[in-house]
Amino acid sequence: MRAAMGDIFNEILAAFFNQSRMYMDELKVAYEEKNYPVLERIFHSLGSSSLNMGAEQLSGLARDLEKKTIKDVCLITFDDIDALQVEYFLVEKVLNDLMSDEKSL
């Protein structure tokens, strides 16, 4: 996608980071409040947008959690959310490093 997007890729990356960080903030609150529809939406959205960035592992994780969260039933634990957040910040670091490397070249 980097090649197809050209200059606008940075903008898309920034949008992805902004949105995902917002999700990270909302995740634990939604889980504690048992707001499963919000949780489901975050997992769904993150699963989709992370694929655009090539973050397949993060996407897969989000999709698995989405399947376990349906309306008033939630089969995930706090550890699952932690794992997702760790994976996201890893993706963010890798993408930032890649962009920095590209700039320095």
Q: Which residues bind other proteins (CB under 8 A)?
A: 1, 4-5, 8, 11-12, 15-16, 18-19, 41, 44-45, 47-49, 51-53, 63
Question: Which is closer to other proteins, CB of 4 or CB of 77?
Answer: 4
* Shortest Cβ 104–other proteins spacing (Å): 25
Question: Which is closer to other proteins, CB of 17 or CB of 85?
Answer: 17
52 within 8 A of 12, measured Cβ to Cβ: yes
Q: How many CB atoms lie within 10 A of CB 24?
A: 17
* Shortest Cβ 39–other proteins spacing (Å): 13
6 within 8 A of 14, measured Cβ to Cβ: no
Question: Which is closer to other proteins, CB of 49 or CB of 74?
Answer: 49
Q: What is the DSSP track for 31-52?
A: HHTT-HHHHHHHHHHHHHHHHH
* Shortest Cβ 103–other proteins spacing (Å): 21
Over the Cα atoms of the chain, what is R_g? Answer: 15
